[in-house]
Amino acid sequence: MAEPSGSRHRSLYKLMGSPPWKQAFRQGCLERMRNSRDRLLNKYRQAGSNMPRRAQDTLLVQEVMEEEWHALQSMEGCPEALAQLEEPVDLAVLEEIRQELIDQEQSIISEYEKSLQFDEKCLSIILAEWEANSLICPVCTKYNLRITGGVVMCQCGLYIPCHSPELTEQQLRTCLEVTVNEHSTHCPHTPEFSVTGGTEEKSSLLMSCLACDTWAVII
């Protein structure tokens, strides 16, 4: 039968050791939190914006402390360390470690939120440029696309013979906007564009996103 969370928390406070092991426990917890970034962000994304901010403060902190505590308990060939783990500990010390982990957790989440804001800003800029008179190349995002004689071209080297010779810049613009907007409904990250294909088959303009592992053929 699983031990109640409150009981595990009290046991953790009772069993941690003397000064050298307090430092080892602190360093182990901080390193474990750094290495658990993906796990933390998965929990954060699953919780969503409906989760109270106070609850977000401890998304992974208690788990990290308990995991590191069990890791120290399982150390082999070090009876002195195990003996120290049986000594009482000042609760203020563990609370200080816990607060450090909360700060680190919030720093990871804050960095993630800033990256999302940056991606959203980049996406807005791309869409705004596409809505301007000139059609910006989605691959290099620097030069204008041109469609001449059924071929989509750009100064950056992009060269795609159209599968549909009647394709116009407005049709391509609409296709790009629709595809990007559809992607943004389920993923906050900015997709990338590339040209696929080789000499034996016609090249295609591909939109892909590593964050959500999706892709779409534009033309």
C-beta pairs of 109-117 under 8 Å, 24+ apart in sequence: 109/40, 109/41, 109/44, 109/56, 112/41, 112/44, 116/188, 116/189
The DSSP letter of residue 2 is P
- Residue 40 contacts residue 108 (beta carbons within 8 Å): yes
Note the pLDDT tens digit of each residue in 120-150: 777 777 667 666 667 888 898 888 888 887 8
The strands making up 214-217's β-sheet, listed across from edge to edge, are 192-196, 204-209, 214-217
Average pLDDT on 13-22 reads: 53
Q: Measured between alpha carbons, how far is 189 from 44 in angstroms, rounded to an integer?
A: 16
For residue 70 the two structure tokens come to: 């069990």
Higher pLDDT, 50 or 219: 219
Note the pLDDT tens digit of each residue in 194-212: 998 755 567 889 999 888 8
For residue 67 the two structure tokens come to: 């995991």
One DSSP character per residue, 63-98 reads HHHHHHHHHHHT--S-HHHHHHHTS---HHHHHHHH
Average pLDDT on 12-16 reads: 47
Q: How confident is the model at residue 18 (pLDDT cuts 50, 70, 90)?
A: very low
Q: How confident is the model at residue 89 (pLDDT cuts 50, 70, 90)?
A: low
Q: Where are the beta strands (DSSP E) in the chain?
A: 146-148, 151-153, 159-161, 192-196, 204-209, 214-217
First to last CA, the chain: 58
For residues 169, 187, 114 and 206, what is the CA-based torsion angle, rounded to 10 degrees?
A: -40
